[in-house]
Amino acid sequence: MLSPRVVRPQPHDGTASAGSSSSRRHMVDRVSEWELGLPSAAELTPVSQALIPPALAAAFGIGPADALSSPVDTGFLHDSPTSHLTSRFDEYDEEDEEEGEGETDDAAAGARRGGGGGKKARMVWTPELHHRFVEAVEHLGEKGAVPKAIVRLMNVDGLTRENVASHLQKYRLYLKRSSPGAAAPSPPPPPFFPRFDVQRPHQDSANRSGYCAYPYVSYQKLGCD
DNA sequence: ACCGAAATAT
DNA sequence: AATATTTCGG
């Protein structure tokens, strides 16, 4: 029992910014920022009001929020591949938002390529990111859950409308599949993320860190708008 | 211009 | 094969 607080190995990138500056962090302020991104209170989903408050605030209790204009710097982190199954759009369990660790956006490194040409790195929808996406969708409601609004609410730097649109498409398909199916064809109602862990015929014993799969990315597109 | 699904690429 | 990106049409 007990929630596995997973100890993340942390992406020790080469640039060890000695002494990460985790100084003062406001937790509540984060919520304010969220509201800022809201669409002029056009239509606050009437159904979910309790979706934002405490849990989220707690989750949002991170980030520098200082000089950076980046609102939610999703440094994208993923925890252990074996122990986190947070993808229930039904309810939240525990949300692990990424830490403001890094400014080290290796992302830029991955996405940005010498100069001019650029190749776009494949977007990596990590569970946390996806969770955020889902929450945005839920809050907007089926009606207003359009890419643009979602992107706005997520406020993830680098995330484009296309990215969300694509993911949204899949997300909707998944929902549709599960809804009418009444009889629950599949025993375990898969949240959404089909392929993430599963695939572990190995009996892990020690921490042989076998996990180097890492993101190639984070995305960073300065200059939002 | 934006959203939605199809087609295409990795 | 699965996922994301890009293209096409409304």
Length A172 CA → B3 C1' (Å): 14
Nucleotide nearest the Cα atom of A160 (by C1'): C5
Length A7 CA → B9 C1' (Å): 36
pLDDT for A178 equals: 77
The CATH fold of domain A122-177 = Arc Repressor Mutant, subunit A (1.10.10)
Give the separation between CA A146 and CA A172, rounded to whole angstroms: 11
The overall average pLDDT reported for chain A is 55
Is the model's pTM score more than 0.75? Answer: no
Q: Write the CB contacts of A6 (distance below 8 Å, at least 6 apart in sequence).
A: A79, A80, A83, A84, A96
pLDDT digits (tens, 9 = 90+) for A144-183: 999 999 999 998 988 999 999 999 999 999 888 877 666 6
The torsion region of residue A88 among left (phi > 0), alpha (psi -120 to 50) and beta comes to beta
Length A98 CA → C7 C1' (Å): 34
